[in-house]
Amino acid sequence: MNVVSPIRDKKQLEAVKGYLRGKNKRDYLLFMIGISSALRISDILRLKVEDVWTGKKPVEYVDLHEKKTGKYKRFPVTPNLSKAIKEYMTEYSPAQDQFLFVSRVGENKPITRQYASMMLNEACDMVGITEPFGTHGMRKTWGYWAFKQNISLDYISLALNHRSVAETKRYLGLLQEDLDNIYLQVNL
């Protein structure tokens, strides 16, 4: 398994959003859910239209049981995510029982993890991101920006369903960042 990184630069994050939004609203919504929810790609791809859309407007909260852990997860639909959902629904008008990220291949099947990874890597390449990203990078991006906004690592750890804060620090690359800063501070 390749280690992926979060998007640490706000301009690059906005550039990925802009690229995907202009290219394909489905892929843009996938990215927006990924960076807004801290969900794993396996959970994102299982979402149905009814999980995010009432038929007239976005839901207030998305509720699900995580595939990997079986744990219940709930997250609010943020204003930015709500806007992305509305744009998607306006363009595609999918049925409520349809997969949200339906593939063009097969009848009501979601896109594959491989397609999602390829699409995200292409978007990152197009905006000049050189660090490895992939589907898990969306989850890491959420955690990284939560930390940068001074959200307690205890809460971030809970949101990511990690066993400990130390695991979350390793996961987000904060331990290495801290170690790098220590070396720079010592500067003998």
Q: Tokens 């969900």: give the residue.
A: 39
The single residue of 28, 88, 115, 171 carrying the catalytic annotation is 171
Candidates 17, 46, 139, 169; catalytic one: 139
Residue 40 annotated to the active site: yes
Catalytic hit among 56, 61, 68, 74: 68
Which position among 17, 25, 26, 40 bears the catalytic label? Answer: 40
Question: Which phi and psi angles does 140 have, rounded to 5°?
Answer: -65, -35
Q: Which of these, 115, 173, 117, lies nearest to 148 by C-alpha position?
A: 173
Q: How far is residue 89 from each of residues 8, 56, 128, measured CA to CA in Å?
A: 30, 9, 30
Q: CA 28 to CA 85: how far, in whole Å? A: 10
Distance CA 77, CA 140 (A): 18
Find the catalytic residue in 26, 48, 162, 169. Answer: 162
Active site residue 57: no
Active site residue 139: yes
Whether 68 is catalytic is: yes
Catalytic positions, written as ranges: 40, 68, 136, 139, 162, 171
